[in-house]
Structure formats: C-alpha cells, structure tokens
C-alpha cells in the first residue's frame, strides 16, 4: 500500500470516483470554449436583475450538474487541449520558473497538483525534490499522465489519482498546492473552487499555494479592423450591395464574448481591477457573484468598440528564498512587465510582486489571449471623455461552470446594458 491513499492500483495510479459519458464538449481549446446564452445591447436607464441569480448548493449536487461536470471533465480527455496549454510557453515556463524559485519550499515536501492534466507540473515538482506528489485529475487523461510518470521513472514520487479533488481521499496533509486553474476571463470553468476545497481540507498551516494571487482586469478598447472584417465586408461584395446581411453579421460576430488577441494599441485607457484574489484567503462564496463599478478617462479620440478582459497570476516566493538558487534544470523568465493600475491611475510596480504570468495585451501571447465584449454599434469618444458603469460576473444558473457577464456602460450621455454568458 502506498502511503497517503487507500485505493492504490499499482504503478503510481489510483482511480477514485465514477465516470460518466459526456453530454457535450466543453473546455479550453476546440469547440465549446466560448458562447452566448443571452445578449442585450440597448439604451437603458435601469439595470437588469438577472445577474443576481446564484447557483445553490442543491443545484451543485443535482443530477443535471453531475452531467454537466462529467461533460466538462471529458473535454479535458482530448489531447489537443493539453497540447495547446503545454505549447503555451508563457504559461508552462512561468510555472516551471515558479517551482524553481520555490524549490526550498518544495524539496522534501508533499505536493498536491489539482487538475494535473498530463502531469507536467507534478513532474516539475518531483524534479525539484518533492518527496511525494499527489497528481489529481478527473478526466481520462489521467491514464496517460500515469504512463508519462512511469516513463520518467518517477512512480515512486508522483502518484496519479483519477478522480475529482472533492471526491478523492488521501491520508495526509500536504505542504504545497499547485494548480493551473485559470480559465478564460480568469473565472470561467470555476476551477478555483476545487483549489479552495483542497486548500481547506489538506493544506498544512503555513503551506504554499502556487499561484498565490490572481487579478482580473478590464479596459475599453477600439478595434476598427475587427468591425471592417466582420461587418464592413458586406457593404460591397464583388460590387454587390449585401448590406442587408449586416444585422445578422453583427449578431453572429458580437453577441458572444470573443476569445482573441488584441495589442496594447487597441487599449484606450489604463486597465481597471475587477477582482484581486488571494488564494490563501478567498472563499467559494465570494466568487459566486462579483460586482464592481468602474470609471475610465479615454486617452485618445477613437471609436469605443467594447471592453477587453485579461488577468495575471502571481507566484509569490517565500521571504526566506535565497537569491540565485541553482537548480537541477534551467529556465528563462519569459514574462514581461504588466501595465496595471491602482485606483485606475498609477502603475503597480512589478518589483513588489513575485513571478508573474500575465495575459495582458502587451505581454507574451498565451492561449488565454483576451476576452472581448463587443458592442453592436461603436461609440465615438474624445480624449479625456469619461466611460463609466458597472460589471457583474456570476456563476450561471444554467451551469455553474459558465460565467454570466452583466455589463452596464455609459459615455457621452448614452447608457447601455449588455448581458452574455461565457460557456
């Protein structure tokens, strides 16, 4: 029997929990990575109350939720999703660098990797000297993860457990929790809840969580090229006026939250912090619904086409970490400085933070890219014109892994509401 868990099947692999057939595909990469439930973009003087709905605990344990969850985990059985994430240099190399920088806190310790996927982070931790790594994975890719562990002769250190972290059982506390839980717009997929569960149940007092903090940003953007490609095209098609297609083109192109890459030149203002997350303190309840008011001042004259959302994740090092620690494997720090704002005015100095994985437009591209909410019609703004309103992000009643977006925005005396679901 391997220490730490009772349902050991040999070769470092344990299967805990039942498997169900998926009803649809969901997950980062490929089909179903984004979508829309409902969008409204019309002048309004009052706000909608639909964003106040929250999934209850009864809903989360219902058979329908179990079906959704089974489909969610089944999507991560597809190798393409894992290939996309591993090939994301900024993502994978930053995690490896964080493990190197925190080697003193990992060597000789017990680590839990929540949602290990193919097991690469678990292997990084083992190479950094972890005494034992519990690699938790609910999707069928756990089978391949176990084979990868064996191929690297780490079966005595890395134990792949096939099951949801909320359902598995181990017989010891852990010193470190590592997880790549961030979804599009940071909170899509609601995987942070699983990290919180693992933290509260298994992390020792004073233990390490990687990443330690995360911050979600938004900013108004201009993107005329995107409108020309999606809408302007129909005004002259081989000399034929097909502008009758424009309303449908706008609906198809701009109803959904779009996952795409923009540049820093598209951003009209300093970004605004929607939510700062301390992974040591955050609760699942406070993530069910997040509302904040924002106020921007445009830096230039341009059409306002929508809002962009992105995030960064911080890997804060222990204060006792020696400088210049040499490790068994090397890595380059590929992350670039993130332009962020305190009170929407001043920069937050990177020197005050640990290693940062940024998905900002000016940073090294990642598979998360940015999430863009486009308007049906742009708003012309002048330099120093105020853009203000509120945004609410909440777990969907349709499926708590989906993300409701309720956006209210005003500028130049006009007010609008846009609602959508990232699913």
The model carries a pTM of: 0.78
Residue of 346, 112, 304, 124 whose CA lies nearest to 219: 304
Model pLDDT, residue 103: 96
314 among known catalytic residues: no
Q: What are phi and psi of 234, to 5 degrees?
A: -80, -10
Residue of 121, 141, 160, 111 whose CA lies nearest to 29: 141
Residue of 142, 93, 256 whose CA lies nearest to 188: 256
Please name the residue ranges forming H helices in 128-283: 141-151, 192-202, 224-230, 246-254
Residue of 227, 76, 95, 84 whose CA lies nearest to 145: 76
Give the whole-angstrom CA distance, residue 118 versus residue 123.
10
Could you tell me which CATH number the domain at 216-315+353-422 has? 2.70.160.11
Please name the residue ranges forming H helices in 203-269: 224-230, 246-254
Residues in the chain: 423
DSSP 298-317: -SS-EEEEEEEEEEEEEEPP
Per annotation, catalytic residue among 58, 166, 172, 180: 180
pLDDT tens, residue order, the chain (423 aa): 444 444 433 334 455 543 333 333 344 443 333 222 222 333 333 333 333 344 444 444 556 656 665 555 555 556 777 799 899 999 999 999 999 999 999 999 999 999 999 999 999 999 999 999 999 999 999 999 999 999 999 999 999 999 999 999 999 999 999 999 999 999 998 899 999 999 999 999 999 999 999 999 999 999 999 999 999 999 999 999 999 999 999 988 898 899 999 999 999 999 999 999 999 999 999 999 999 999 999 999 999 999 999 999 999 854 433 333 333 333 333 223 323 333 333 333 343 457 999 999 999 999 999 999 999 999 999 999 999 999 999 988 878 888 999 999 999 999 999 999 898
In the chain, what is the greatest distance between 2 CA atoms, to the nearest angstrom? 75
Domain 65-180 has CATH 3.40.50.150: yes
419 among known catalytic residues: no
Give the whole-angstrom CA distance, residue 35 versus residue 294.
25
Per annotation, catalytic residue among 137, 189, 255, 408: 189
For the chain, domain boundaries: 65-180, 216-315+353-422
Number of H helices, E strands in the chain: 11, 17
**Terminal Cα distance for the chain, rounded:** 41
CB neighbours of 88 closer than 8 A, spacing ≥ 6? Answer: 366, 367
């Amino acid at each position: 029997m391997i220490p730490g868990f009772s349902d050991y099947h040999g070769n470092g692999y344990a299967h805990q929990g039942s498997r169900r057939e998926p009803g649809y595909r969901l997950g980062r990469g490929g089909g179903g990575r984004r979508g829309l439930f409902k969008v409204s973009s019309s002048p309004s003087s009052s706000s909608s109350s639909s964003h106040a709905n929250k999934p209850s605990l009864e809903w989360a344990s219902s058979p329908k939720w179990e079906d959704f969850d089974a489909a969610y985990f089944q999507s991560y059985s597809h190798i393409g999703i894992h290939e996309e994430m591993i090939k994301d240099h900024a993502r994978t190399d930053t995690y490896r660098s964080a493990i190197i920088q925190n080697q003193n806190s990992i060597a000789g310790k017990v680590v839990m990797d929540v949602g290990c996927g193919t097991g690469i982070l678990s292997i990084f931790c083992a190479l950094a000297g972890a005494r034992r790594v519990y690699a938790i994975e609910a999707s069928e890719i756990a089978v391949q993860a176990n084979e990868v562990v064996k191929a690297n002769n780490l079966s005595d250190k890395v134990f792949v457990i096939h099951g949801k972290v909320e359902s598995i059982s181990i017989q010891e506390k852990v010193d470190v929790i590592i997880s790549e839980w961030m979804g599009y717009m940071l909170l899509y997929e609601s995987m942070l809840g699983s990290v919180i569960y693992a933290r509260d149940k298994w992390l020792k007092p004073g233990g390490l969580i990687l990443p330690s903090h995360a911050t979600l940003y938004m900013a108004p953007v201009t993107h005329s090229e995107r409108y020309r490609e999606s809408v302007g095209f129909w005004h002259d098609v081989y000399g034929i006026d097909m502008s009758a297609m424009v309303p449908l083109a706008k609906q198809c192109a701009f109803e959904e939250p779009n996952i795409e890459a923009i540049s820093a030149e598209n951003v009209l203002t300093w970004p605004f912090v929607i939510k700062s997350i301390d992974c040591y303190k955050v609760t699942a309840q406070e993530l069910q619904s997040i509302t904040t008011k924002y106020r921007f001042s445009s830096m230039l004259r341009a059409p306002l086409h929508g809002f962009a959302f992105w995030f960064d994740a911080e890997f804060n090092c222990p204060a006792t970490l020696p400088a210049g620690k040499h490790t068994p494997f090397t890595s380059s720090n590929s992350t670039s400085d993130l332009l962020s704002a305190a009170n929407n005015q001043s920069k937050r100095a990177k020197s005050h933070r640990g290693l940062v994985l940024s998905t900002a437009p000016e940073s090294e591209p990642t598979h998360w890219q940015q999430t863009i909410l486009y308007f049906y019609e742009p708003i012309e703004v002048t330099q120093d014109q105020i853009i203000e309103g509120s945004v609410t992000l909440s777990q969907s009643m349709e499926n708590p892994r989906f993300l409701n977006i309720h956006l209210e925005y005003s500028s130049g005396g006009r007010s609008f509401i846009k609602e959508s679901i990232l699913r």
